[in-house]
Chains A and B, each alone.
Chain A
Amino acid sequence: MDAWLGGVAAGILGAVSKVEAVQYGDRKVYSVSAFNRGVGDWLSRLPSVWVEGEVTELRRQQRWASVFFTLKDPADGSCLRVSMPRSQFDALRLDLGDGERVHVYGRPELFEARGDFRFRALSIERFGLGDHLAALERLKRKLAAEGLFERRRPLPRFPRRIGLVTGNDAAAKRDVLTALTTRFPPARVVVAETYVQGPRAAPAIVEAIGALCEIDDVDVIVLARGGGSFEDLLPFSDERLVRAVAGCRVPIVSAVGHEQDTPLTDLAADVRASTPSVAARLVVPDADELRERLEQTRERLRRAPLLTVERKRARLDGAFGRLRALSPSSTLERGYAIVRRDGRIVRGSAEVEPGARVDVELGEGGFGATVNETR
């Protein structure tokens, strides 16, 4: 823009130098007419462009050669006076009313007799809500075809820092900050306030996202804006912003508008959150839950060594059980007896004779005995 204005200044000088100036000493002075002609000449060389705005103060009279109206920017009220030859205007059969949104194709022009700057319309098209929606739909299909709406990266469980892009209207910002810090008091947040409405919003948000991405411990970005009219949310469907969101270094959570609004940034973001508290749930862990889980883990930790000892004991007991099963004592417990003579086990009746003294060992205890007879 600056370069453009500089060009205009240079052009005026160039143009004016062709018209006669009166020399008063070292001062060059132009007549009003010459000056206007110079400026008008330069303006007429600017390219034709499309301008969007709302029609106000439409004036059309039979005796005028041109129709006049003022094109107003709904975002900040900026005005541009527009003229169009009456026959051309009538031929368009637009039947425009006050406040209607239009696209005007034309070029700047100076009405030299009055030094009035205005926009000379060459064509006018109505651009209402339906056209906006259709244009959005086309953009949506185009970006979808490029695969911009398919990225769903997982969010970090413990972001080191959280970037928050928000307007300076306190509500959305406060809601998100409150939700974040309530759920996770240690949260660290970097807030980037920008325009979130009007024609400057989209490039400003792109800039804010870029600035947050430059901070290397920002692990996630939340894009927050309260609800608004269809037009208020239009920047969030701006192609530049949608591309910036889709190409962002870190995951982006889109918390824009209300449930029913679906600006295109929502589709390009990694996750969409319908409310600030949903955004907070996605972005930070619940500190209370963490604490509870930590305490439970500690309980398990405290029981664990005891568990180890118990398990070792159980294994020992098992081994002991098997050892005992192999020893004769369990056989004796079932009712068998061991007979010994002089400490040696008696395996057959031939090893004793009537009158021999033997020892009998039982499951419990034992006794001495004398052999009566052998068989």
Chain B
Amino acid sequence: MTFEEAQRELERIVQQLETGQADLDEAITLWERGEELYRLCADKLDSAQGKVEELARRVEALKPAEPLT
């Protein structure tokens, strides 16, 4: 699950809970799922390591310009 998906689901759950439509058992289940999603998002933000890779320098192999025609 991506950060974005988790964040979206979390916000949907909060909205659903805030309307107070769910019955109590359902509310507890939603809340537990919400907490789980929160931890997932927080972990992704904290632990994801940025990475910079260099693409192989294919440009060196480029042919000089175009043939004369």
A1-B67 contact given A287-B45, A301-B17, CB 8 Å threshold: yes
Q: Once bound together, how far apart are the Cα atoms of A4 and B67, in whole Å?
A: 8
Q: Are A301 and B14 neighbours in the complex by a CB distance under 8 Å? A: yes
Q: Once bound together, how far apart are the Cα atoms of A208 and B53, in whole Å?
A: 14
Instruction: State the total of A-B contacts with C-beta under 8 angstroms.
Output: 122
A49 proximal to B (CB < 8 A): yes
CB distance from A224 to the nearest CB of B (A): 14
Q: Report the count of interface residues on A (CB-CB < 8 A).
A: 46
Q: B45: which A residues are within 8 A, CB to CB?
A: 186, 287, 290-291, 294
Q: A305: which B residues are within 8 A, CB to CB?
A: 17, 27-28, 31
Question: Interface majority SS on B: helix, strand, loop or mixed?
Answer: helix
Q: Are B55 and A190 neighbours in the complex by a CB distance under 8 Å? A: yes
A193 proximal to B (CB < 8 A): yes
A185 partner, pick from B42, B50, B58, beta carbons under 8 A? B50
Q: Once bound together, how far apart are the Cα atoms of A184 and B49, in whole Å?
A: 10
A300-B18 contact given A191-B52, A305-B27, CB 8 Å threshold: yes
Q: B50: which A residues are within 8 A, CB to CB?
A: 181, 184-189
Q: Are A49 and B27 neighbours in the complex by a CB distance under 8 Å? A: no
CB distance from B5 to the nearest CB of A (A): 10
Q: B10: which A residues are within 8 A, CB to CB?
A: 294, 297, 301
Q: Once bound together, how far apart are the Cα atoms of A208 and B24, in whole Å?
A: 57
CB distance from B25 to the nearest CB of A (A): 11
Q: B64: which A residues are within 8 A, CB to CB?
A: 1, 200
Interface residues of A in 262-286 (CB under 8 A from B): none
Chain B residues within CB distance 8 Å of chain A: 2-4, 7, 10-11, 13-14, 17-18, 20, 22, 24, 27-28, 30-31, 34-35, 38, 41-42, 44-45, 48-55, 57-59, 62-65, 67-69
5 A-B pairs with the lowest CB-CB distances in the bound complex, closest first: A186-B48, A304-B17, A311-B20, A192-B55, A301-B34
Can you report 21 A-B residue pairs in the complex whose CB atoms are below 8 A from each other?
Answer: A158-B3, A185-B50, A186-B45, A190-B55, A200-B64, A208-B58, A211-B55, A287-B45, A290-B3, A290-B45, A294-B10, A298-B35, A298-B38, A300-B14, A304-B27, A304-B30, A304-B31, A304-B34, A307-B20, A309-B24, A312-B24
